[in-house]
Amino acid sequence: MSKPFIMDHPLIQHKITLLRDKNTGSKEFRELTNEIAMLMCYEATRDMPMKQVEVETPICVGKFNVIAGRKIAFIPILRAGLGMVDGLLSLVPAAKVGHIGMYRDPDTHMPVEYYCKLPADIQERDILVLDPMLATGGSAVDAINQLKARGCTNIKFMCIIAAPEGLAAMEKAHPDVQIYVGALDDHLNEHMYIVPGLGDAGDRIFGTK
């Protein structure tokens, strides 16, 4: 089982603190979410395979590294995961994007899937599942169940803030999935919000509250 990778880089921590501030408006919140995703992508793609190609510099011909043609897919969990996609695409523009729609039943707090549209060759791709908040872990566990049911094997998960409860649920259900975390918070409150957290990430990204 891989340990969650907690990103303690000062740039990521600084931007997450700005996200937490309740006075940060939607425009800045969206920009920060994408910037954090982009910074986290740097680490999450560290093991991308390389190959050598021949290039002629102004001085001589040499062999140099480029990313090998392995395929990658970003799968945001709707809707808050959408807020991370542009940041990732700015670093990996050739990636395909699939979508899984989940909502949390307000009474049971259980995830309900209402949408799933994935690239046709999803089984052949390295997959990065995205959700800014890993709270109970229900949506992430369920989204990854859906991907595995479709034959996907090489799956990673990226969130900006995690609760210990969500990490435990993910590690129990999907010990093979490497998790990338911007900040590990304290606990969930009685409404299943992360404390201290940043509130409802979807509402803050889309200005729906």
Catalytic residue among 45, 104, 126, 176: 104
As beta bridge partners, residue 99 has 117
* 17 catalytic residue (yes or no): no
Q: Which residues are annotated as a binding site for uracil?
A: 194, 199-201
What are the start-end ranges of the H helices in the chain? 10-20, 26-44, 85-91, 138-149, 164-173, 201-206
Query: For binding to ligand URA (CB under 6 A), which residues are involved?
Result: 80, 133, 135, 193-194, 197, 200-202
Q: Which residues are annotated as a binding site?
A: 79, 104, 131-139, 194, 199-201
What are the start-end ranges of the H helices in 21-155? 26-44, 85-91, 138-149
Q: Are 182 and 36 in contact (CB under 8 A)?
A: yes
CB nearer ligand URA, residue 43 or residue 165? 165
* 176 catalytic residue (yes or no): no
User: For residues 24 and 99, what is the distance between their CA atoms, to the nearest angstrom?
Assistant: 27
User: For residues 54 and 99, what is the distance between their CA atoms, to the nearest angstrom?
Assistant: 37
* 21 catalytic residue (yes or no): no
CB nearer ligand URA, residue 152 or residue 188? 188
Q: Are 157 and 186 in contact (CB under 8 A)?
A: no
Q: Shortest approach of ligand URA to residue 202 CB, angstroms?
A: 6
By the 10 Å C-beta count (0-12 exposed, 13-18 middle, 19+ buried), 22 is classed as exposed
* Residue from 84, 105, 49 nearest 180 by CA: 84
CB nearer ligand URA, residue 19 or residue 41? 19
Q: Shortest approach of ligand URA to residue 199 CB, angstroms?
A: 6
* 104 catalytic residue (yes or no): yes
Q: Which residues are annotated as a binding site for 5-phospho-alpha-D-ribose 1-diphosphate?
A: 79, 104, 131-139, 200
Q: Shortest approach of ligand URA to residue 195 CB, angstroms?
A: 8
Q: Shortest approach of ligand URA to residue 43 CB, angstroms?
A: 23
User: For residues 185 and 167, what is the distance between their CA atoms, to the nearest angstrom?
Assistant: 11
Catalytic residue among 108, 150, 176, 204: 108
CB nearer ligand URA, residue 16 or residue 95? 16
Tell me the catalytic residues. Answer: 104, 108, 200, 203
